[in-house]
Amino acid sequence: MKKVVIIGAGIAGIAAAIRLARNYRVIVLEKNSFLGGKLSEICLQDFRFDAGPSLFTLPELVEELFEICGESAKDFFTYQKLPIICKYFYPDGTILFAYANIENFVDEIAQKLGESPEDVKRFLQKAERIYKITKPVFLEKSLHQFSTYLSLTTLRSLLLGYEIDAFRTMHQANKSMFRNPKTVQFFDRYATYNGSNPYQAPATLNVISHLEHCYGAFFPHQGMYSLAIALTKLAKKRGVEFLTQTEAQKIIVRNSRAIAVQTNSQTIECDYVISNADIMFTYRKLLSEHKAPEHILKQPRSSSALIFYWGINRQFSELELHNIFFSQDYQKEFEAIFQQKTIADDVTVYVFISSKIVFSDAPKDCENWFVMINVPPNSGQNWDELIVRARQSIVRKINAILNTDIEKLIVVESVLDPRKIEERTSSYGGALYGNSSNTMFSAFLRHPNFSKKISNLYFCGGSVHPGGGIPLCMLSAKIATSILMSKDGFKYL
Ligand SMILES: Cc1cc2nc3c(=O)[nH]c(=O)nc-3n(C[C@H](O)[C@H](O)[C@H](O)COP(=O)(O)OP(=O)(O)OC[C@H]3O[C@@H](n4cnc5c(N)ncnc54)[C@H](O)[C@@H]3O)c2cc1C
């Protein structure tokens, strides 16, 4: 069997390993002592927290990995569809439930925000149309292979390009559709699902709301980290070797061909290399002697996050698994993140409480709060000062909306900021989703899933095509491995 070395055991690295294991000997190098990258967990006293992703969408992309291995996903992990996707709290006291049931959701928007049900349905139909046009080209194929443009599906999608609403921003599109600024804020928020700014990103990103409202949101019964555990177990069962605490230091290239990976302890010769490490890090550190595609590396990064993990000594029946406390001035919040590279005084706060479903994640009568705000990626800001200020404004907002004194209920705390995200996962600037999607050209300015200069070198993960977030990382692994396998004439499953 030919040998493939994968650098990084993020969710895409593990998915790529599973896809290749039938035909190749696969070794995954991971610098950390744990597998999963951003998809990780932390335990504080008797509280367990999913440390990274909290929203699970398009589970079929994960299930597919089990199917191609002839396994049933249910034997490895189980999940449920959420009847309430998220509960929204507006500063004026309005409360909105994003129900999974589409009729209930449309009714809720009509009743609470005064929109006409027809407008909401028309909006969702338009988002669905954009998804149908973009999915086969922008999500499921390499944008950088000539063959992509020869297929009928691609040609059809490109001919319908004018329908994908790429020439105005998401905010402009949403404002033209709805009368209530609160509805606009609600739908603008989907830009943050891939770390973008609704006031800059093309309205094409409205596909994200379609995915959530048409397909639903899900949650694993044992928490998000159980996904990483399940996929690792599957990979090991398929014979994948994981070397933890093993840092790749260099991709060795001879005659323009990747032939080995040098780690902190050995040099591993191989036939192919896949880097699941951030693309910036891959070029700057692992390929430092080679010319980098600067135009791609210089693209602005997605937002990062500041997260407080709080063990809370009480239960709040008024909160759901996912909760949003909106800011008063959304535009100001995004200007602070993307233009001023700081944090606004009034921010939108996301509170995720996995113990609502995974009871063992918190002691009896307690809850585990994951309290997150969007922040700029790290570019040397004074984070210690920003964290203190942000924490005060978060506490103020939560107290006002829940009529409580949250400080008194916090029994244990840990903080994750962009510096730490960068340090732990080598994500440039601690960006959560690689490059932002703030322009209509962003999709074309993500790095391809293969190297154009070095043969036998491939890339997967949130910093390359088609982008960040668990579903897109799954697709990046699929695209990268399908190109690799086609080289050896293997039929792709
Ligand atoms: C706080 C937070 C919240 C998020 N929320 C969501 C959400 O709700 N839903 C969603 O879908 N997505 C969410 N995301 C994004 C999602 O987590 C990522 O897009 C995805 O997990 C990235 O996976 P990846 O495969 O690109 O690898 P990463 O997770 O970035 O992992 C890369 C791995 O490579 C390793 N590595 C790097 N360099 C080397 C080296 N030289 N040698 C060996 N190993 C190396 C790193 O240690 C790491 O383990 C969130 C992310 C964060 C941080």
Average pLDDT over residues 197-213: 94
How close is the Cα of 255 to the center of ligand 1, in Å? 32
Q: 480: pLDDT confidence band, cut at 50, 70 and 90?
A: very high
> What is d(CA 444, CA 446) in angstroms, rounded to the nearest whole number?
6
Which has more confidence, 398 or 146? 398
392 contact partners, CB below 8 Å, separation of at least 6: none
Q: Which residue among 432, 437, 479 is best mutated to probe the pocket of ligand 1, counting the most ligand atoms within 8 A of its Cβ?
A: 432
Q: 437: closest CA among 195, 157, 199?
A: 195
Q: Is 300 in the pocket of ligand 1 (CB under 6 A)?
A: no
How close is the Cα of 446 to the center of ligand 1, in Å? 16
* Range from 48-52, 132-136, 302-306, 476-480 carrying the lowest mean pLDDT: 132-136
Q: 493: pLDDT confidence band, cut at 50, 70 and 90?
A: low
Indicate the average pLDDT of the chain. 95
CA angle 368, 372, 374 (to 5 degrees): 170
DSSP state of 491: P
How close is the Cα of 108 to the center of ligand 1, in Å? 35
Q: 160: pLDDT confidence band, cut at 50, 70 and 90?
A: confident
What residue spans define the domains of the chain? 2-39+62-69+222-299+445-487, 104-215
3-class DSSP assignment, residue 427: coil
Contact call for residues 32 and 245 (beta carbons, < 8 A): yes
* Range from 140-149, 164-173, 251-260, 433-442 carrying the lowest mean pLDDT: 140-149
DSSP state of 313: S
Q: Is 354 in the pocket of ligand 1 (CB under 6 A)?
A: no
- Looking at ligand 1, which residue's alpha carbon is closest to its atom 32? 10
Q: Is 38 in the pocket of ligand 1 (CB under 6 A)?
A: yes
Among the atoms of ligand 1, which is closest to the Cα of residue 57?
11
Does the pLDDT at position 444 exceed 90?
Answer: no
152 contact partners, CB below 8 Å, separation of at least 6: none
Among the atoms of ligand 1, which is closest to the Cα of residue 8?
34
Average pLDDT over residues 213-225: 96
Q: 165: pLDDT confidence band, cut at 50, 70 and 90?
A: confident
Tokens coding 383: 């984070």
Q: Is 8 in the pocket of ligand 1 (CB under 6 A)?
A: yes
Q: Is 473 in the pocket of ligand 1 (CB under 6 A)?
A: yes
Q: Is the bond leading into 300 cis (omega within 30 degrees of zero)?
A: no
How close is the Cα of 39 to the center of ligand 1, in Å? 6
Q: Is 322 in the pocket of ligand 1 (CB under 6 A)?
A: no
pTM: 0.96
How close is the Cα of 451 to the center of ligand 1, in Å? 21
User: Could you say which architecture CATH assigns to the domain 2-39+62-69+222-299+445-487?
Assistant: 3-Layer(bba) Sandwich (3.50)
Contact call for residues 137 and 475 (beta carbons, < 8 A): no
Cβ count within 10 A of residue 111: 11
How close is the Cα of 40 to the center of ligand 1, in Å? 9
How close is the Cα of 37 to the center of ligand 1, in Å? 5
Cβ neighbourhood burial of 341 (10 Å; 0-12, 13-18, 19+): middle
CA angle 204, 172, 340 (to 5 degrees): 95
Q: In the prediction, which pLDDT does 133 show? A: 87
Q: Tens digit of pLDDT for each residue in 363-372? A: 999 999 999 9
Tokens coding 473: 């990382």
- In the chain, the amino acid numbered 224 is M
How close is the Cα of 474 to the center of ligand 1, in Å? 12
> What is d(CA 287, CA 100) in angstroms, rounded to the nearest whole number?
46
- Looking at ligand 1, which residue's alpha carbon is closest to its atom 52? 52
Q: In the prediction, which pLDDT does 492 show? A: 65
- Looking at ligand 1, which residue's alpha carbon is closest to its atom 35? 8
Q: Is 305 in the pocket of ligand 1 (CB under 6 A)?
A: yes
Q: Which residue among 425, 433, 465 is best mutated to probe the pocket of ligand 1, counting the most ligand atoms within 8 A of its Cβ?
A: 425
Instruction: Count CA atoms closer than 13 A to 105's CA, side-chain side.
Output: 25
> What is d(CA 247, CA 8) in angstroms, rounded to the nearest whole number?
9
